[in-house]
Amino acid sequence: MKIGFFDSGVGGISVLYQALKIMPNEDYLYYADTEHVPYGVKNKEEVKSYVLEAADFIVSQGVKALVVACNTATSIAIDDLRARYDLPVLGMEPAVKPAVCRLKGMACNKRVLVTATPMTIKEKKLQHLLHQWDQKHIVDLLPLPKLVTLAEAGVFTGEEVDNYLQEVLAPFHLKDYCTVVLGCTHFNFFKDGISRFFDDDAVIIDGSLGTVCYLERILYERGLKEKNDGQIEFYCSGQLVSGAKQQFYQSLLQRLEQLDN
């Protein structure tokens, strides 16, 4: 049986990449809701309906687990999804806890910058994380909606990316930050570009690896781990993709591998 991965677009491929590294012998189904991307600037109820429709399709394909590889979709619909299906449903959340805990014991006045979509920043899930872990109020929030659009277009480097990052980061004193949280899976493709704006000792983190390690543990505990061929089926809003679109998705996995090295 396959493991289902879902995102509004290409961002969740960065989570799929971590899964392929840790569990190369599992088979995967990746679903990008390209008809409705981006989610982060839309109405909450509208996005929830898209998520439920996509998840119903993925589950109908006989997956053994569902990873909502999208912070926005997780913040809006994860409880509904877990109540809807009798299988493991995992989501994403901005890595606020590890970012804040990293500063404990450090004799400095550094801060944490959490980047996300506008909707993730507004939703209760992130606000709850901040209330729970950011008692010293060292976290600042920055929406980066254009990075989603750029990622969907396959534009990860160049003048347009650099100019946008320079514009949105201009109000911040960047030397104050020792940790940057990528709270949208689309942003993982821009890790190298973002890092150039911060000091060399600043760390950029996201929740992808933690989610995949938890997935592996759940599969092991439930006896669901398998030895297959590591095959991936890609879907765009319910349509199986092949040809140039499939090659594009494969190229994204290759870019993530390059960023790792």
Place of tokens 């990316």: 161
Whether 178 is catalytic: no
Collapsed DSSP state (helix, strand, coil) of residue 91: coil
Say how far residue 233 (Cα) sits from the centre of its chain: 19
Burial zone of 137 (CB within 10 Å; 0-12 exposed, 13-18 middle, 19+ buried):
exposed
Helix (H) or strand (E) holding 215: helix 208-221
Among 70, 178, 213, 236, the one annotated catalytic: 70
Kindly report the backbone phi and psi dihedral angles of residue 99, in degrees, each rounded to the nearest multiple of 5, phi listed first: -65, -45
DSSP state of 69: -
Helix pair 96-103, 124-133: axis angle to 10 deg: 20
Among 101, 108, 184, 236, the one annotated catalytic: 184
- In this structure, the strands spanning 232-236 and 239-240 are antiparallel
**Cα–Cα distance measured from residue 73 to residue 53, given in angstroms and rounded to the nearest whole number:** 12
**Cα–Cα distance measured from residue 190 to residue 206, given in angstroms and rounded to the nearest whole number:** 12
Is the Cβ–Cβ distance between 112 and 126 less than 8 Å?
no
Whether 70 is catalytic: yes
Active centre residues (catalytic)? 70, 184
